Structures are given as C-alpha cells and as structure tokens.
C-alpha cells in the first residue's frame, strides 16, 4: 500500500507528464437494472440506473449508479457531488470519473442534491449529502459493498458538501474543493486536486485545509483556473490519480 503524507504536494505543469500508475480506462461499466435511462433531475440520460434515495418538498432525489461488470461482494464505493456554487445542478459533471471507478472494479454513485435556485438552502444540500451517504450505508448488502470502504467525492461546492455532510466516510476525493481551515473534517485518507491559478477558491485555503490532516495528498497543478479538472489533459490526469489513490487504499 502506498503511504499518504501530511501536506504532501505533488506539482504538475503543462510540460510534465503524469507518469505514475496510469490506468487505461477503456473498459465499459455495467449498470444495475440494465441500460434503462436514468430519470432523475434534470432528466439526464447516463445509460445507467437511477434509484430514488430521498423525497423532498421540492422533488425526489436520485443516485445514478455505475457498477462494475464483474460484481462480487465487498466492493469499495464512491459518492460524487457536483459543483455549481450550491446554486446550479450539474449532475452529469462526474460521469467520466464514475465510469472510471466502475471500470476498475468499484461502485460509483452520482448524487443529486437540491440547490439554492430551487428556493432551498446550503444546509438543505448538506442534509441531502448526509442522507445519500446513509442510503448507501443502508444498502451495502444490496450492492455487495464494503461498509468500511465508502468514499465521498466532489468538486468545488460539491467538495465542500462531501466534507460537511459528516457521516464518517472512509476517504475523501476532492476537486478544487471550497474548503478552508475552519472546515471540520473526519480524519481519513484524503486526496485533493487544485490549481495554483484558481481565482475562485484560493490555493492557500486548500493547502491549509489539507495540512490539518494526517493522511492528505494535495495534488497541485500549475495550469488551469477553477474547474480545471473538467477539461483535458487534466481530466484524464486527475481521474487516473484518483483511481490510483483508491486502489492504493485497497478500494
């Protein structure tokens, strides 16, 4: 198993190729319940199944499920929460990463949550995140999941939601997370990806957040603004490093 050190910073620049444990992400992933289109908000079609995990006054909330082809017991899993400043729904944001998770033998759940443009609050969104984690915990036997290998992941506001939802997950995977030194966090293995050029969430705030943790890697990129991981080549680089981190921690 690889070791993850406090405040370790791995720097990337446009001239430096990622050269550690690259994983080919060409395998297809299966879906629970066949290839029916997911019918969650806003009627996105992931080509996978969607299951309602919570009913709210605004709308039902779904998790979009990405499953490995070869389903065996005690799989690791990851819940993904999209960014958007808690104001916009971008539920499809982490489809690429979710498919990579499934291609490498794990379960991925892309989680819908309410946003402030629906007339709800940030606290409502955080409550949705907590409910989603509890739903996965309640269904570990249904999906054959390891109850001690459930990670929370998210980008920007979704990264903050993943951390603030509580529930004692077993790892965090964070993409330009909107966190700071005041953010309370469970002491678990963590990897955070951030750009030094981010004009929305200061790099130093994430560096300070990560330094609070005993088991945190901050992977620093020298290119790209906020949301840098959504486009190539950083999309592939961060996805491969995410998978490597999870496999190194026995997901």
Cα of 14 vs its chain's centroid, Å: 24
Q: At what angle do helices 157-164 and 122-138 cross, to 10 degrees?
A: 60
Please give the pLDDT value at position 18.
25
Please give the pLDDT value at position 45.
52
Residue partners of 54: CB distance under 8 A and separation at least 6 = 60, 61, 128, 131, 132, 135
* Gyration radius (Cα) of the chain, Å: 17
The domains of the chain, with CATH numbers, are 8-248 (3.40.50.1820)
Measure the CA–CA gap between 144 and 127, rounded to whole angstroms: 25
Rounded to an integer, the average pLDDT of 178-192 is 85
Rounded to an integer, the average pLDDT of 36-40 is 38
Measure the CA–CA gap between 176 and 192, rounded to whole angstroms: 7
Rounded to an integer, the average pLDDT of 71-100 is 94
Kindly report the pTM of this predicted structure: 0.83
How many helices (H) and strands (E) the chain has is answered by: 6, 9
């Amino acid at each position: 198993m690889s070791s993850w050190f406090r405040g370790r910073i791995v720097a990337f620049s446009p001239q430096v190729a990622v050269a550690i444990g690259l994983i080919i992400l060409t395998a297809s992933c299966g879906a629970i319940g066949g290839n029916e289109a997911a019918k969650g908000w806003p009627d996105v079609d992931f080509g996978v199944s969607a299951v309602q995990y919570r009913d709210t006054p605004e709308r039902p909330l779904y998790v979009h499920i990405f499953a490995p082809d070869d389903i065996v017991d005690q799989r690791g899993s990851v819940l993904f929460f999209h960014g958007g400043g808690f104001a916009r729904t971008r539920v499809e944001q982490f489809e690429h990463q979710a498919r990579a998770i499934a291609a490498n033998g794990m379960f991925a759940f892309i989680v819908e949550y309410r946003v402030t443009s629906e007339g709800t609050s940030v606290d409502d969104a955080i409550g949705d995140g907590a409910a989603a984690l509890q739903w996965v915990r309640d269904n570990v036997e249904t999906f054959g999941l390891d109850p001690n290998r459930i990670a929370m992941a998210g980008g920007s506001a979704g990264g903050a939601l993943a951390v603030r939802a509580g529930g004692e997950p077993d790892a965090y995977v964070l993409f330009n997370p909107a966190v700071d030194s005041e953010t309370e966090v469970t002491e678990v293995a963590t990897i955070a990806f951030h750009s030094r050029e981010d004009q929305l969430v200061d790099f130093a705030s994430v560096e300070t957040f990560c330094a609070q943790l005993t088991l945190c890697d901050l992977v620093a990129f020298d290119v790209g603004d906020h949301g840098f991981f959504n486009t190539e080549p950083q999309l592939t680089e961060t996805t491969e490093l995410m998978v490597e981190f999870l496999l190194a921690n026995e997901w």
